[in-house]
Every structure is written in structure tokens, then in C-alpha cells.
Chains A and B, each alone.
Chain A
Amino acid sequence: MYVCNMANSKLYKGSLTTIILKLLNESEKMYGYEMTQKVKAITKGELNITEGALYPALHKLEAEGLLDVEVKKVDNRLRKYYKLTEKGNKETVSKLEELKDYIKTMETFMSPKFSLD
């Protein structure tokens, strides 16, 4: 699904939806290629979303009613933009909470605090 640091690429699987929702939460609207470049820039090339994974995920979210689309003519061609719907905004909050809880749990697991109590 992703080309990144191949040793840990499996850890990122399943987070693609959250990544897309988070990106769209921070911008009004984005198009597919822009998303791949933004992820690359934010993670300084550490995480690279592949095209073969991005578009199916976007289409799934669109079919679920979490994303809305609009098409504009840019540089001789049509460009499809995605933006969050109201349902998508709610889902973003829930997905980010879920991810935060996961990270917190994993941190506790990785560095447990032992006590004599």
C-alpha cells in the first residue's frame, strides 16, 4: 500500500483513511496528486502514498458520503477536488481520537512505568 521505510510500512496500513481525512480537515479542498505531495513534504519523504492506494481510498470515502467532489478547469484540463462533508468532519474527529488513543496505548506499552505499590 505504501512505499516508505519498508521495514515498518505495515504499521501505516489502515491509517490511510485517517491521513486523507486529516489532510482535508486542514485545507478547504485538495486533489489527489496534491495529497501525495503534501504527505511527502510533511513527513520529509518518510511516508509516500502510492497512487494505487490513494484513489481507491478516496472513491470509497466519496461513496460513503464522507467526501464531496467538485471539478474545475485548471491548465487545459479538468481537476477533481475533494472536500469533507459534514459527515466527513464528524468522522475525522472520531478517527483522530481513535488514532490518539492507539498511540497513547502503544506508548504505555513500549515504556511501561513500574511501581512497587
Chain B
Amino acid sequence: MKLTPPQIENLYAFTRQHYVEHYDLQTELVDHLANDIESVWQTQTSLSFEDARDKAFKKFGVFGFMDVLERRQKAMNKRYFKYLWTELKQWFTFPKLITTLALFFGIYLGLSTIFAKSFLIGLFVIICVFTIYKSTQLNRQFKQRKALSNKKWMLEEIIFKQAGGSAIILLTQLPQWYNFSDNIFDNPYIVFAVSIFSTLFCLWMYISFEVIPNKAEQLLNETYPEFCL
């Protein structure tokens, strides 16, 4: 006996109830449960759909789909950082290298003046404002995309909702920077190191909030070619 389309829909709803919100993973789990239910029905023909479904679900263990979900998220985050890294590397080759160097020297010069501390704080305040503005914009875009397709993709959520996540934690440390000693920027090695860090940080923010979301369609097609998005 084969499952009917309403029963397949029920399985999609069932995975959603068990915290699997992304269509790519839902599809795989629905097919697995459906196969198992059909297999159970071969020996226990009188078993109801719900009972067979619960029986199939129990085989996933006490944590249900959680383990599969967590590991999938981990693998997808790894993929996202791979995309991020690929983009970052491009800023160290021509012609983008010119922008990177200009940014680095700009920051280096700013930090070599007597206003180094204010310059650094000003720079990170600008990044902070950019981050908040882009986060809001990307969140809105994500909602619009979801409303259009009614499907959620794990990579799409990472691109639009988790962009620069760890950077925001770093920016919350900003008030503590006021405690920096002014003399710290007298040391050229520190100026050099802070300039490198700030350049990389600016690039990282720009790539995760601007470059990657603009390439979302291409990256999603690359990640889920099987679904022909």
C-alpha cells in the first residue's frame, strides 16, 4: 500500500512539529518515514497511518530528528564559511587587492595620528550602524522570500539571518575599548596588528552583509542543484 498525497502532506507537517523547518531536510525525512510506513504496512496491514508513522519516528531515537538537524546545521555552516572564505580570498588578488590595500593604509594612517583611539571607535561605530541596518534589511528580504515560495532553506536562513553573527558579539565589546590606554597606539607593531585586524573585519562584514546575500540565488542553486531553485 502506498501513501496518498494528503498523508505525505501530513508527514511534512509532522517534521515541522518536530522542529525541522527547512524544506531540504524535511523532504529527505518525509521520504524516509514514508518508506518505513509502507514497509510496516506490508506485515501489519491493519495498522493506522498515525500509528505506523509514530512507529517509524521512534526509530530515530529519544531525541527524534534533533541529532539529524543539529549535524545538518553544522555541515551547512561549514559550507557557508567555505563560501565566505572563497569570497575573502578574492580581496587579496587583483583588482580587489587595490581596495584592500587602500583600506589597510587608510586605517593605518588613521591609527598613526593622535586621534587613533577616536578613529578606531568611530570606525567600529560605523560598522555597527551598517550591521544593524543590513541585518534589518536582510531579515525583511528573508520574510519576503519565504512568503513567495512558502519554503525555507537552511543555507538561505544562514545567509539572511545569521550574517556576521559572531561579529555582533565582538561589537558588543565596543564600550570596553574606551578603557584602552592612549599610549597603546605609540607602538607601531600594535598599530600594524590593529590595522590588519580592522581591515579583515571590514571585509568580513562587507562580504557577509552585502556580497553573499547578493549572490544568494547562485549559492542556493549551487548548494541545492537537485531542487532546481
Binding site for B on A (CB under 8 A): 31-34, 37, 50-52, 55-56, 59-60, 62-63, 69-71, 74-80
Contact = CB atoms under 8 A, between A and B. Distances in A.
B96 interface: no
Nearest to A70: B226
A52 B61 contact: yes
B227 interface: yes
Interface of B: 2-5, 8, 27-32, 34-36, 39, 59-61, 63, 67-68, 71-72, 75-76, 78-79, 225-227
Contacts of B31: 31-33, 74, 77-80
A76 B4 contact: yes
A37 B59 CA distance: 13
- When A and B form their complex, which 7 residue pairs have the shortest distance between CB atoms, in order from nearest? A56-B71, A71-B226, A33-B35, A63-B75, A55-B68, A59-B75, A52-B67
Nearest to A32: B32
Contact of B28 (A50, A74, A75, A80): A80
A50 B34 contact: no
A77 to B, nearest CB: 5
A71 B227 contact: yes
A62 B27 contact: no
Contacts of B72: 55-56, 59
Nearest to B2: A75
Contacts of B3: 75-77
Nearest to B12: A77
| Chain B contact surface mostly | helix
A52 B60 contact: yes
B226 A77 contact: no
A50 to B, nearest CB: 7
B61 A80 contact: no
B59 A51 contact: yes
Given A52-B63, A76-B5, A80-B28, 6 more contacts: A52-B67, A56-B68, A69-B225, A76-B3, A77-B27, A80-B226
Contacts of B71: 55-56, 59-60
22 contacts: A32-B28, A32-B32, A33-B35, A33-B36, A37-B39, A51-B32, A52-B60, A52-B61, A55-B28, A55-B68, A55-B72, A56-B72, A63-B75, A63-B78, A71-B226, A74-B31, A75-B3, A76-B4, A76-B5, A77-B3, A77-B31, A80-B31
Contact of A77 (B34, B36, B75): B34
B228 to A, nearest CB: 9
A63 B76 contact: yes
Contact of A63 (B2, B34, B63, B79): B79
A72 B60 CA distance: 24
B75 A71 contact: no
Contacts of B227: 71
A31 to B, nearest CB: 7
